[in-house]
């Protein structure tokens, strides 16, 4: 939608104020955009690293698949997962604070020896999964904020600042033309009065 404006001095001053605000906000928006871009890359690398670690761990325990049939899932369950928030360039993202497990006491005489190792493996798999998921979620939030910031930078740079400058230029020309016409009219009127007095 094109910028709507009136051809008067108060409108020119208002547009000038808006233009200054946009011009002064532009560097901040650009630095926010670059900070978000860097953070998105960093969080994506972390998430991919957790993905890789998770795949490697699953691959390393693949030989134990037959044993996992004996493992009873009720021995370990997630009791609590606590998330915090972290602010990066004005964007809040979730961060994993801590997580706790409820581990049932296992009688070593009734269960195989590897069950304790199995519990440690499940805890590590869970930790990696939680960290991976929270990093992917953080990356999505940061990427969305980066896109919105990029859109705002482009809006200011390519649309609003040029529109305001053009509108101010048109108002200034209009007011100058109006002033010139007024001066010309005054000169003509003055000349006619002088001619009338001479007669």
Q: Which two tokens stand for residue 30?
A: 């650009």
- CATH 1.10.287.3240 assigned to 9-198: yes
- Say how many residues make up the chain: 199
Q: What is the pLDDT of residues 12-69, one digit of tens each?
A: 899 999 999 999 999 999 999 999 999 999 999 999 999 999 999 988 887 776 666 5
Asked if the model's pLDDT at residue 151 lies above 90, the reply is: yes
Mean pLDDT in residue range 152-170: 93
85: nearest Cα among 146, 137, 145, 147: 137
Domain boundaries, the chain: 9-198
pTM over 0.85: no
Supply the DSSP symbol for 160: I
**Which SS3 state, helix, strand or coil, does residue 166 take?**
helix
């Amino acid at each position: 939608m094109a910028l709507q404006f009136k051809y008067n001095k108060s409108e020119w001053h208002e547009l000038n104020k808006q233009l200054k605000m946009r011009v002064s906000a532009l560097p901040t928006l650009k630095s926010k955009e670059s900070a978000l871009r860097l953070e998105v890359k960093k969080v994506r690398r972390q998430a991919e690293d957790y993905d890789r670690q998770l795949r490697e761990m699953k691959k390393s325990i693949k030989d134990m698949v037959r044993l996992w049939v004996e493992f009873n899932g009720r021995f370990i369950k997630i009791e609590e997962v606590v998330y915090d928030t972290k602010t990066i360039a004005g964007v809040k993202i979730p961060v994993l604070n801590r997580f706790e497990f409820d581990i049932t006491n296992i009688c070593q005489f009734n269960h195989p020896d590897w069950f304790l190792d199995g519990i440690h493996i499940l805890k590590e798999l869970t930790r990696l999964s939680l960290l991976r998921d929270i990093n992917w979620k953080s990356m999505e939030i940061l990427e969305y904020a980066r896109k919105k910031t990029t859109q705002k930078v482009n809006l200011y740079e390519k649309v609003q600042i040029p529109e305001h400058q053009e509108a101010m230029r048109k108002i200034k020309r209009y007011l100058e033309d109006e002033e010139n016409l007024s001066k010309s009219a005054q000169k003509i009127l003055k000349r006619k009065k002088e001619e009338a007095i001479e007669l």
